[in-house]
């Protein structure tokens, strides 16, 4: 069976079997190296209030929030795009 992608859609390399994680949106179990992970900074304080407090010298904590999505949820949220037909790998008769 032909390979569609050189890395088989994963970031595993030659490490062997990787663990599974759950998609943060739909709960699907996916390999950890296949998941699309997005890291965002999160502040529990309202941005307008945080600006006023920072002007007065307060230190507002920010936290890293990492969410991992399966491929279908990442496409749905626009994190990864579906390639147009002319950029896809040609298969079949040439």
Write out pLDDT tens, residues 45-81.
Answer: 999 999 999 999 999 999 999 999 999 999 999 999 9
The domain locations on the chain are 20-80
Query: To the nearest whole percent, how much of the chain has pLDDT over 70?
Result: 97
| CA–CA distance, 88 with 90 (Å, rounded to integer) | 6
φ, ψ (nearest 5 deg) of residue 87: -95, -10
Element at 38 (helix H, strand E):
strand 36-42
Among residues 7, 24, 38, the alpha carbon closest in space to that of 70 is found at 24
The CATH superfamily holding the domain 20-80 is Ribosomal protein S26 (3.30.1740.20)
pTM for this model (two decimals): 0.74
User: Is the predicted pLDDT of residue 32 greater than 90, yes or no?
Assistant: yes
| CA–CA distance, 2 with 93 (Å, rounded to integer) | 14
φ, ψ (nearest 5 deg) of residue 42: -125, 135
């Amino acid at each position: 069976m032909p390979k569609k992608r050189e890395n088989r859609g994963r970031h595993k390399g030659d490490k062997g079997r990787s663990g599974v994680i759950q998609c943060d949106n739909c709960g699907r179990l996916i390999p950890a190296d296949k998941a699309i992970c997005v890291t965002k900074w999160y502040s529990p304080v309202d941005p307008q209030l945080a600006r006023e407090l920072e002007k007065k010298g307060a230190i507002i904590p920010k936290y890293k929030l990492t969410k991992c999505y399966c491929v279908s949820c990442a496409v749905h949220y626009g994190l990864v795009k579906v390639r147009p037909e002319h950029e896809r790998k040609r298969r079949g008769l040439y």
